[in-house]
Amino acid sequence: MIMGDTKVLKLVPKTEVAKGVAAPEEKKAQTGSASRMAPRTAPEQDPKPTSKPITEAPPQPVLVPEQRQREQRESLSISPQLSREEMIRIYRTMYLSRRLDDKEIQLKNQNKIFFQISGAGHEAVLVAAGMVLKPAYDWFYPYYRDRALCLQLGMTPLEQLLAAVGAEKDPNSHGRQMPSHWGHKKLNIVSQSSPTGTQLLQAVGCAEAGYRFKLIKELKKRASNFQKDEVVYVSLGDGTTSEGEFWEALNTACNLKLPVLFLLEDNGYAISVPVEVQTAGGDVSRLIENFPNLYLQRCDGTDVLESFNVLSAAVNYCRAGKGPALVHAKVIRPYSHSLSDDERLYRPDEERTADAERDPVKRFGAVLINEGLVDQKGLQQIKDEIDALINKAADQALASPQPAPETVMLHVYSPDVDPTSKEFDTEDRAQLSGNAGTMVDLINRCLHTEMARDPRVIVFGEDVADCSREEFLDKVKGKGGVFKVTANLQRKFGSARVFNSPLAEANIVGRAIGMATRGLKPVVEIQFFDYIWPAMHQIRNELAVLRWRSGGDWKAPVVMRVPVGGYLKGGAVYHSQSGVSIFTQIPGLRVVYPSNALDANGLLRTAIRADDPVMFLEHKHLYRQAYNKSQYPPDDFMIPFGKAKTVREGTDLSIITYGALVQRSLIAAKQAEQQGVSVEIIDLRTLQPYDWNAIVATVSKTNKVIVAHEDSLSFGYGAEIAARISSELFEHLDAPVARVAALDTFVAYAPQLEDTILPQAADVAKAISKLHNY
């Protein structure tokens, strides 16, 4: 039976040792003590770290800066009590989490659900985290073991089981993701994906959004979903610390002193790979001790009382604006990695038995009994109530309908803002004025006007600022990007809105996703298309899919400006790439590719005002060409996506092209005209979406077509256009679809090799002659 409610537990502060200064004593298992609880409210003084061993061997002394040593010797004041009712609730949530895992395993074995991955062994530290954080106030980027956290924050057993069965009413993903991929709009749990570690940079960006909102005076009154002392929680496993994005996230969080709580749930294994294989020394928290502004703690994550104490101090540190905190919690994994794994293949029985002796659910049950808070009968009564609750929720979930098949295309793109609509078409009535400017000039003008129009627009990337050290701004001309596209933006709008990033492309895109989730409008620059690949994980698996995988609950309308292409005379392999087809086949991502200054201005404005992720490709060779200059359009000038432009009328054959091939096609067409051949040229302008109606019209008109682009011939962007024309417009064709493209190799440094590899006007002229004579 459960005892009366008058008893409270007295909580006594423990002696604390400076982190990393001296080797702490080996921690002994404490299953019957409740003397390590921390307060539910933050202490007034700054919390200071304690040192907790997380391995059997005492850690070696590590030298840290003298000031850090002083700060970390100071003890944390601990408030005195926690009620029996709260203790019972802790146990209920821990047991509920474990039994939900067990129920899902049962359902998987019965072929009633399709996947299962458990949070068993992590319950104690996760319930503690949920207690010290605030749902719908703080922000959460969990990973797949965080079932108990989500329950503590307010997610119901039914909601978790709806995810397991793939139900439409599942608030995590509406049946679109595997179970244990947490997300809940009302609780500020941002949709989680499968890649490990991608959430870390997004969490940093989420916290950075609050930081930026405080600095940008025009936004202070619009920060309704920001709290002055909010904390962003992000969790990870020990294996994830091997990902570069873990280090990138720590670097930025510490550099900007962001209120991010990193919870490292170390169960000793990344599937079958043990921690000593993953990490030099087997203890990543010892590798990061000298990160500035980082509050670092270690704890036994199977001990809910100790975990609560440590996490309370860490959250207090973040709320006080001191910087990020990392809690390294040593937990266990009593079940296999997932039901697709069998840990008996690589873990001996004695190791698994040792883990079972530290089972957090059993340990805390013993605490309740030993402290006289409940007897064995009362504990069994709690278990029976929860088992009945789970069985009922499982029946409800299994009866809940799955999403209708016709919903599969919903939320690939924004249902609210259509950048292909007439609302974004002001092209025909635009009045141009002023001296003609280059593509660089008109992109720069668009950025200036859009930043003035909307204070949510922020610009960052490598070298985009005029001068990061603001005290030198009056003494230097300013950088403003390697191509000067962002020149004077920092001077005009300040360093809160225009700033440099680390040399890390995933950092740029990942942070931008987190900021966009909170309502900012990041326009980021990837300095060269050739170096976009470190960000590919963030682009393909996060940015493009966030809206769809959450059933429309979350979005990240980020604009990525990316200089692209060759024809540079010296660009060579790593400054001339043009693999756009890799991105045009990603659902959810808009891809834009202007060929001239005016189009660049109008299309960029549409990209910024749209509600989808956009890759805005800017051909480096076209940046300052005289032939594509334009006078300046008005500040509302927009070109809709999916609207091609006929740049030359013709009757004998058509060329469908974009980017640098537009001008080369024009040169070839003028040459063909001297031989009596009339060539029509269509500039697609946007590649995803593209203007199929314009293609139909031109092919129906001329009956012969060439698809020309700078991408490689095989598997290049033009292959899709050519295939669709052959499939859907075959009856209009008087000849096979021709293609002009780069050779299937890399761009070389030597000019004559580059000229051979990339398509030239002469190659287009040759294709025109051959097709006309067919």
Question: For residue 307, what are the contacts with CB-CB under 8 A and spacing of at least 6?
Answer: 124, 125, 128, 129, 299, 300, 301, 329
The H or E element spanning position 397 is helix 376-399
Strand partners, 139: 232
Coil, strand, or helix at residue 247?
helix
- Nearest 5°: the CA angle 440, 443, 449 is 135
Three-state SS letters, 189-236: ECCCCCCCCHHHHHHHHHHHHHHHHHHCHHHHHHCCCCCCCCCEEEEE
Q: How many residues does the chain have?
A: 774
Angle between helical axes of 84-109 and 376-399 (0-180°, round to 10): 50
Work out the end-to-end distance of the chain between its first and last CA atoms, rounded to an integer number of angstroms.
Answer: 92
User: Residue 669 in 3-state DSSP?
Assistant: helix
What DSSP assignment string belongs to 670-723? HHHHTTT--EEEEE--EEES--HHHHHHHHHHHS-EEEEEEEESTT-HHHHHHH
275-283 long-range Cβ contacts below 8 angstroms, 24+ apart: 275/238, 278/238, 278/239, 278/241, 278/242, 279/238, 279/241, 279/242, 282/55, 283/54, 283/55, 283/59, 283/328
Q: Which helix (H) or strand (E) holds 613?
A: none
Count of beta carbons in the 10 Å neighbourhood of residue 593: 31
Of 415, 274, 290, which Cα lies nearest the Cα of 19?
290
Q: Tokens at residue 514, please?
A: 């987190």
Is 732 an active-site residue?
no
- What residues form DSSP beta bridges with 682? 646, 656
Strand partners, 615: 560, 591
Give which of 264, 273, 134 is closest to 200, Cα–Cα: 264
Using alpha carbons, list the distances in angstroms from residue 743 to 254, 462, 597, 714. Answer: 46, 31, 28, 8
**Of 337, 411, 537, 575, which one is the catalytic site residue?**
575
Cis upstream peptide for 689 (omega within 30°): yes
Amino acid at 12: V
DSSP class of 343: G
Helix, strand, or coil (residue 614): strand
Tell me phi and psi for residue 537, to 5 degrees: -55, -50
Q: What are phi and psi of 640, to 5 degrees?
A: -70, 150
Contacts of 396 (CB under 8 A, 6+ apart): 158, 161
Residue 268: other Cβ atoms inside 10 A: 22
d(C-alpha 51, C-alpha 23), whole Å: 9
Q: How do 653-657 and 139-141 pair as beta strands?
A: unpaired
Q: Which residues of 682-713 are buried (b: 16+ CB within 10 A; e: fewer)?
A: bbbbbbbbbbeebbebbbeebbbbbbbbbbbe
CA distance 410 to 588: 11
- Written as six digits, the tokens of 309 are 């104490």
Contact 388, 94 (CB under 8 A): no
Q: Cα separation of 736 and 652, whole Å?
A: 14
Closest to 89 (Cα-Cα) out of 152, 40, 146: 152
Residues designated as active site: 575
